[in-house]
Amino acid sequence: MERVSQVRAARGVPPEGGGRQVPRGGWRRSAGLTLGLLLGLLLVSCGGQPATPTPAASRPSVPPPSWKGNPSPGPVPMQPVPVIPTGQAQVHVPILMYHYVGRVPPNDTNPQLRAGLTVSPEAFQQQVQWLQANGYHAIDAQQLDRYFEGIGNLPGRPVMLTFDDGNADLYTTAYPILRQAHLRAVAYIVSGFLGAGGRVTAAQVQEMSRNGIEIGSHTFNHEDLTREPPARLQMELDRSRQTLQQLIGDSVTDFAYPAGRYNPAVQAAVAQAGYTSAMASDASPSGNAPPPAATTGTAHGWSDRYAWSRMEVNGQESISQFAASLGPVDPTVQQMEPQA
């Protein structure tokens, strides 16, 4: 009891049955003073402390976000997501190859060749919209590499958009469309051409790398690698990779053969230089011979990762022809429950 009295005294609380008595009839003055003090303290505390939260019962109810991010009156069950599960030896992934997205300049020295490599901005926009409307998900080459390494699944309808050479309209025309659509892509850059006329700059490559565009190598000088002596071949591969890695501050693991030309010696050199995969082209010869059957179409495996085929988009195809070129949906697609 003595201990309780000491604590009460330390806190300024009168002892039970003791302390100053409020005179009879003076309780209103005391209550008024007390109320004034409380209001003053409240005003001071509001100036220096966060306001006390409104009780939950008096706050308006805010519906929780749904799976798609829209307001919903209650919990919405997550829908199964179509994926290609890991463990498949081969998967169907259409890999599209672009060179120019823009207009053929009136003063171009070879307008016929340029026209066959150029997709208009309107056609490219239409292709992007068609892919999104039909459930395709853009991936990059590193995602495909990781899939075959067993690290992660692929979306049920994967597609890869690749851009060769590092032409200026990659940044001025294609990149804004891709970014607006939130699509990934791969840009295979000729590092020796950076900043030259009609090419992307180093700063533009850095920006694209930070915003969903994987940067891959397309050699240093865009030479036909099947005609290069071993030392020169290795220089083209090593110097390009080192230049780009220093530029973007990240690994460069994927490669595209200039003009799609390669042979076994070139493939071995690409692997030795540290690249994980390399892109060929259905329309281009493998050295001086037709490409092997394994490199055609949309089916890709780990065993042929140094000859993954691509389909060139040349701007002459209709949207129905573009759609038909994508090939079949992978037969291993499964519906998997998303992670909560």
Nearest partner of 273 among 228, 230, 223, 316, judged by Cα:
230
Residue 219: is it exposed, middle or buried by C-beta count within 10 angstroms (0-12/13-18/19+)?
Answer: buried
- Provide the pLDDT for residue 336: 62
Per-residue HEC secondary structure of 238-258 comes to HHHHHHHHHHHCCCCCEEECH
Q: Is 184 helix (H, G, I), strand (E, B) or coil?
A: coil
Q: Domains, the chain, ranges and CATH? A: 92-328 (3.20.20.370)
Q: Is the pTM of this model over 0.85?
A: no
- Provide the pLDDT for residue 58: 38
- Provide the pLDDT for residue 12: 46
- Provide the pLDDT for residue 80: 72
DSSP E strand boundaries for the chain: 81-84, 90-92, 95-98, 100-101, 118-119, 137-138, 154-155, 158-165, 185-189, 213-217, 254-256, 277-279, 299-301, 311-312, 334-336
Q: Is 134 helix (H, G, I), strand (E, B) or coil?
A: coil
- Provide the pLDDT for residue 296: 56
What's the chain's length in residues?
Answer: 340
- Provide the pLDDT for residue 243: 98
- Provide the pLDDT for residue 171: 99
Q: Is 275 helix (H, G, I), strand (E, B) or coil?
A: coil
pLDDT tens-digit profile of 69-97?
A: 333 344 545 567 789 999 999 999 999 99
- Provide the pLDDT for residue 169: 98
- Provide the pLDDT for residue 333: 83
**Residues paired with residue 299 on neighbouring β-strands, in sequence order:** 92
- Provide the pLDDT for residue 260: 94
* Residue stretches of the chain with pLDDT short of 70: 1-79, 283-296, 336-340
- Provide the pLDDT for residue 329: 86
